[in-house]
Every structure is written in structure tokens, then in C-alpha cells.
Structure 1
């Protein structure tokens, strides 16, 4: 009667595939919601990791900047210490010149052209050049005679009673002090009125 094989004959009866398709629209929104939630969670995790890595990068950059500034300051301080040591080495030379000029009866502040003796004139010119070179390099003399004693700038060698002098005032400078770039490199050694 029917020339069709049985497998084909039963095919029209297997039409209940449509109800499964009817279930798909209902299941699809739930799956899509789940996928959106999963994607939102993954996005949130990725953003959190990104923020963490950005924070690490910012901290590393700030640490490096602080390190660079600290190293620059240390290099500058080391250079200043080195220059101060060189200046300290010249102080005995300056003081020897001053003693030699004093022994020869030459005023260190006098005009060299006023000196008749060529040797003394040469000493005075050399002393003047040396003190000018030190001054142009940032060296300043600390000569506190008549000033109030300052333990940060002066070293008291003794205290004496001086009539008419206020207590705590420097009455004699035994050895001048020196500053280099505003920093004390040697305190003035002084006698203070009591």
C-alpha cells in the first residue's frame, strides 16, 4: 500500500519538535541574562585588575621620582661637602698670609700701589687675589667682634671681665670663622665678656 519505508512513514508523526522550539524563547532570555551576568562579572574583575595594576604603576613611578630627587639632593650635598673640604684646606694658607703680612707690617686692606717695596706689594696682591677667589667661590669670613656670642657660629675659648663691655658679647676674635655657601665650615674662636 504505501511504498515509503517505515522510517519515512513515521516522520510525519514525529512533529512534536515544535513544542521544543516553543521552549527555546523562554529559555533564551534566562541564558542571555546568565551570559550578561557572567560578562558583567568578568568585566568587573578585569577593571579591578586594571585599577590594581594602574595603582602599582603609579606607586612605582612615584617611588622612582622620589628616588631621583633623593639622589640629586645627595649628589648636590656630596659636591658641597667636597668643595667645603677644599676650602678648609685653603684656610691655613690664608691665615699664614695674614700672619706674614702682619709680621711685615702690611695692612691686608691697604692699596697695593701704596706699598713701596715690590716684594711686599707682591705679597699683598697675592693675598688679595686669594681672598677674592675664595669670596667669589662662596666663602665668607665670620668676624664677630662686638656681636652677641652665638654658640652656633662661635667657639668660646675664654670669658673675661671687660670694663664697659656687656656680658655675652665677643670682645676678641682669636681666629676668624668661615662660612661656605651659607654653611659654617669653621666657627670663629672668640673671647667673650662675662
Structure 2
């Protein structure tokens, strides 16, 4: 009778050892699965942020020609319409657009004609006027350039001359 008990104890210990080993394996699998899921979640968050930023850049880039047109219309506003309510509404709309762009981190590339040096990182030269000096300065801004969070959305289209 004593032998049966020893046999059962050995069998129980073996089963318990097998179960403990299996629990350990399953615990490791669970930890790996959790880590994989956490890495997946982080990767998806980064991809979402990148997609959002790309969409924002694309949408703003498509609006820039419209903004240019509004700015050109305002700059050519006849004197007799300076006090016209409709014309003032267009000017107010332009200011609102500028405010929204500012909130989105979009800013115009600043150019002071005859003072700002040409920089190909920010400017696109469409013509070059010869002059006595070696310094290339912007002589005319043909189209505004824009930055978004420090990155060029669109280069400023300029004429360059030597000073």
C-alpha cells in the first residue's frame, strides 16, 4: 500500500511540474503578445499622426493658389471701391484666412525687396537681372512662399538681381 502512495505522489509531482511549465510558457506568450500589441499600437499612432500631417499639408497646398488670387484682387482694388462693403468683406475674409493659417502653423516666407538675399532653400528664381555686385538679392516677389512648422510648403517665386 505504501508503494501506491509514492507512485501517486511522483505522478502528482510530474503533473504539477508539467502544469507549472505550461503556465510559464503561456505567461511568456502572453507577455510577448502584450508587447507586440503595444508596439503595434505605437506604430499605428505614429502612422495616424503622419497621415494627418500629410493630409493637412496637401489641403493647405491646394488652397494656396486661391489665397494668391484673393491677395492679388485686394492689391488691385480700385480707389473708388476702398470703402465698398463688399470689397471690405473680401479684405476681412483674407485676414480671417491669414489668422487660420497662422493657427495651423503656416507662415509666409518674409521677403524685403532689394534687401533679402536669395536663398534657394526658400526662393525659386524665375529670372536674373545682372548688376554690378556679387550679392544676389530679391528684386521682386512674384508669388508668396509659405512655411509650415519650419518646412517649405511652397517656395517664393522671385526675380533676383546682383547688388
Give the TM-score normalised by structure 1.
Answer: 0.59
Deviation string, structure 1 residues 36-89 (Cα, Å, up to 9, x no partner): 555444333322221211111111111222222222222232222223222222
Select 2:77's aligned residue among 70, 87, 104: 104
Change (3 A) 1:49 1:156: farther
Q: Does 1:187 align with 2:155?
A: yes
Change (3 A) 1:101 1:52: same
CA–CA separation in structure 1 for the residues paired with 2:107 and 2:78: 25
Q: Does 1:77 align with 2:50?
A: yes
Select 2:144's aligned residue among 169, 172, 176: 176
Give the number of aligned pairs: 156
CA–CA separation in structure 2 for the residues paired with 1:162 and 1:38: 100
Q: Does 1:62 align with 2:35?
A: yes
Higher relative contact order (CA 8 A, sep 6+): 2
- Rg larger in 1 or in 2? 1
Select 2:119's aligned residue among 149, 154, 179: 149
CA–CA separation in structure 2 for the residues paired with 1:35 and 1:170: 96
CA–CA separation in structure 1 for the residues paired with 2:18 and 2:27: 14
Instruction: Kindly indicate whether the alpha-carbon contact (under 8 Å) linking 2:117 and 2:137 is maintained by their aligned counterparts in 1.
Output: yes
Q: Which runs of 5+ in 1 are unaligned?
A: 1-23, 107-114
CA–CA separation in structure 2 for the residues paired with 1:193 and 1:47: 82
CA–CA separation in structure 2 for the residues paired with 1:95 and 1:69: 39
CA–CA separation in structure 2 for the residues paired with 1:71 and 1:150: 36
**Superposed counterparts of 1:157-176, under 5 Å:** 157=126, 163-164=132-133, 166=135, 171-172=138-139, 173-176=141-144
Select 1:86's aligned residue among 59, 65, 70: 59
Q: Matched residue of 1:118: which SS? A: coil
Instruction: Kindly indicate whether the alpha-carbon contact (under 8 Å) linking 1:178 and 1:187 is maintained by their aligned counterparts in 2.
Output: yes
Please name the residue that 2:94 is paired with: 127
Superposed CA RMSD: 3.6
State the shift of 1:90 in Å.
2.0
CA–CA separation in structure 2 for the residues paired with 1:62 and 1:162: 65
Instruction: Kindly indicate whether the alpha-carbon contact (under 8 Å) linking 2:144 and 2:156 is maintained by their aligned counterparts in 1.
Output: yes
Instruction: Kindly indicate whether the alpha-carbon contact (under 8 Å) linking 1:142 and 1:177 is maintained by their aligned counterparts in 2.
Output: yes
Instruction: Kindly indicate whether the alpha-carbon contact (under 8 Å) linking 1:171 and 1:190 is maintained by their aligned counterparts in 2.
Output: yes
